[in-house]
Structure 1
Amino acid sequence: MNIQEKDQKLRTYISELESLAVAFSSGVDSTFLLKTAHEVLGDRVIAVTAKSCSFPERELNEAMQFCEREGIRHFIVDSEELDIEGFSSNPKNRCYLCKHELFEKVAEVAAEHGIKEIAEGSNLDDNGDYRPGLIAVAELGVHSPLRYAELNKEEIRELSRGLGLDTWNKQSFACLSSRFVYGETISKEKLSMVDKAEQLLLDLGFSQVRVRIHGTIARIEVLPDQIAQLITEPKKSVITAEFHRIGFTYVTLDLDGYRMGSMNLTLNKE
């Protein structure tokens, strides 16, 4: 299928749903899904955003602004992952625990407002990575329209650009808990450290960033063609000084650059 056929497949799929609650993070995928669903279903679609310490305030603000601008009913729920039993110890099924809790809360909002179905924004590329959260999606009967339509990230960006969405070239984002090596305790303090460090890099003009945390060591990932910028003065001194102030003892650079799911390299998936 070409990209236009995939887009039509997506719209046909959504049109067959009576009403829809979209789990909305303001990222590239969920923004495109929500925009498309709203075009197809109108006021029979709502957006539900989960607020927690692993979700940066900038992302929450962008979600609120988008829904206000588009005239989409938007509901914000508290979904504090650190309150989930076992989550803070960062087990291999961390994402399953989080997504299960999230979609249960989305379902509560949907039921309260007479919405029949729930959807999330994973895309075809997510099938190739370790994604325990997709088990929760399957268990709870949550729709994955973008995967159904076989749309990958680059195609979603292209279609988003055609719709005039600012997110078409937005950096890929995952919850801040994904910055921790499996087995390392996740805390509000360390989540805040990661959030502040990544915001600094974004403010300095880096377009795709991750600050992976290993104890008090920060491992910075940026796009390979931006590595030289990071180690060039005065940015290097600004970054190291600010990272130390935030609470990192050591500041390191990953020479492989940014890549999705780099923490999963430590997993034995067999």
Structure 2
Amino acid sequence: MELEKKIEQLKDYLKDKKVLIAFSGGADSSLVAYVASDISKESLAVTIDNGVMPTDCITNAIKIAETIGVKHSVVKENYLNDPTFTSNPPNRCYICKNKMYSKIIEIADKNNLEIVDGTNITDLLEDRPGIMVNYDKNIKSPLVKAGFTSDDVKNALELLNINYSKSTTCMATRISKNSEITSKKINRITYAESLLKGLSGSEIVRVRDQDGNALIELENVSKILSMGILNHIDTELKAVGFKRVSLDIGGYGNSKKDIVVYKPCKDEKNKIMFETELPYPINIAKTCKELEKLGDVKCSVEMGIAMLETKDRNVTIFKTGKIVARRVIDREDAENLLVKVLPSVRRKFNSDIVN
């Protein structure tokens, strides 16, 4: 789908609505806030300062909101005071987002606003348990409805000349799950990332705390590849408490996953088949219920399969996370079909994840 058409669909969704935008100042929420400020009847951007965000995240969000011209509010809440969050269970992101949206819902209800966020299609291909909060609390994702991928969002921001922050992910995501989140760990990660930004010139830096060992990921690895700089980094990071320091030589964000992958279809001549593999298991019963809005559905919970027939095309979804598109015209047709189907897919929670 052409980018201009997606932008128009985004505008159509937000037009004349009264919306509250869950706003980080990152690419996705900045695009939604920009369009909402121009086209919506009323718009309010809300940023939750939860005590575990990058140091410049909140200040950048304030500046970007001012540039966009959207009304903006920052709400402070220290999640480090919540043992459920700091114990860092596998469903940490669900807990965090649930807390965040519970507060945002209070604000939205007081002001009679519909909550929207910046979730895009690419997010649905990743292992993000927090997205289930959107379904549980009826949070709308206009970028998903308009078919935006992460690349589409960045291209739209460039086309519209909108600035955004590249560092908006929670610092808690740097800490291995089941390892307690503490202010000490957050502070040493913050120091390490600040140091590496200065040394490498990279806008995006991640220092992951893996049981006390630092794993460095950054955009521009080449600028720190000298023994003098590496020794300096090693000394500084060990001085703040890291036991060992290692570098991911692949660089941050250099891997890119195709939305669909071509697979030869052996059983049917002249038929094209594409598939994708989601990194999480599927709740077939809930997914089938959502798919009924799109076409004819055949569902077998026992076999772990959901089949959708829509416009002479077939989509089969397996409980393992595999999605197969058959009888499509080409890759673009398969991608457009997947964009329509993905919002209906519901992940299956493990026993340790609260639904």
TM-score, length basis structure 2? 0.68
Equivalent of 1:138, from 135, 139, 162?
A: 135
1:63 paired with 2:61, answer yes
Cα deviation, residue 194, structure 1: 1.2
Equivalent of 2:234, from 208, 230, 240?
A: 240
Cα deviation, residue 172, structure 1: 5.7
Cα deviation, residue 227, structure 1: 2.5
The structure whose residues are more often helix, as a share, is: 1
Partner of 2:80: 82
Letter of the 1:5 partner, please give it: K
Partner of 1:106: 104
Cα deviation, residue 86, structure 1: 1.9
Partner of 2:21: 22
Structure 1 251/102 Cα, relative in aligned 2: closer, same or farther at 3 Å? same
1:154 paired with 2:125, answer no
Structure 2 Cα separation of the partners of residues 103 and 69 of structure 1: 25
Cα deviation, residue 268, structure 1: 8.2
Structure 1 194/132 Cα, relative in aligned 2: closer, same or farther at 3 Å? same
Partner of 1:264: none
Q: Is the 8 A contact 1:21 1:115 kept in 2?
A: no
Partner of 2:34: 35
SS of aligned partner of 1:221? strand
Structure 1 101/133 Cα, relative in aligned 2: closer, same or farther at 3 Å? same
Letter of the 1:188 partner, please give it: S
Q: Is the 8 A contact 1:22 1:46 kept in 2?
A: yes
Residues 166-199 of structure 1, C-alpha deviation per residue, up to 9 Å, x if partnerless?
22xx536421111111111111110111122112
Cα deviation, residue 69, structure 1: 3.2
- Runs of 4+ displaced beyond 3 Å: 170-173, 267-270
Q: 1:173-252, aligned counterparts within 5 Å?
A: 173-204=168-199, 205-223=201-219, 226-252=220-246
Structure 2 Cα separation of the partners of residues 172 and 152 of structure 1: 19
1:128 paired with 2:115, answer no
Partner of 1:165: 162
Gaps of 5+ in 2: 256-278, 282-319, 321-355
More moved, 182-191 vs 200-209: 200-209
SS of aligned partner of 2:56? helix
Structure 2 Cα separation of the partners of residues 230 and 91 of structure 1: 34
The structure whose residues are more often strand, as a share, is: 2
1:73 paired with 2:71, answer yes
Q: Is the 8 A contact 2:176 2:210 kept in 1?
A: yes
Partner of 2:6: 6
Structure 1 Cα separation of the partners of residues 66 and 167 of structure 2: 23
TM-score, length basis structure 1? 0.87
Cα deviation, residue 54, structure 1: 1.1
Structure 1 203/115 Cα, relative in aligned 2: closer, same or farther at 3 Å? farther
Gaps of 5+ in 1: 262-266
Percent identity, please.
29
Cα deviation, residue 165, structure 1: 1.7
More moved, 97-106 vs 241-250: 241-250
Structure 2 Cα separation of the partners of residues 142 and 9 of structure 1: 18
Larger radius of gyration: 2
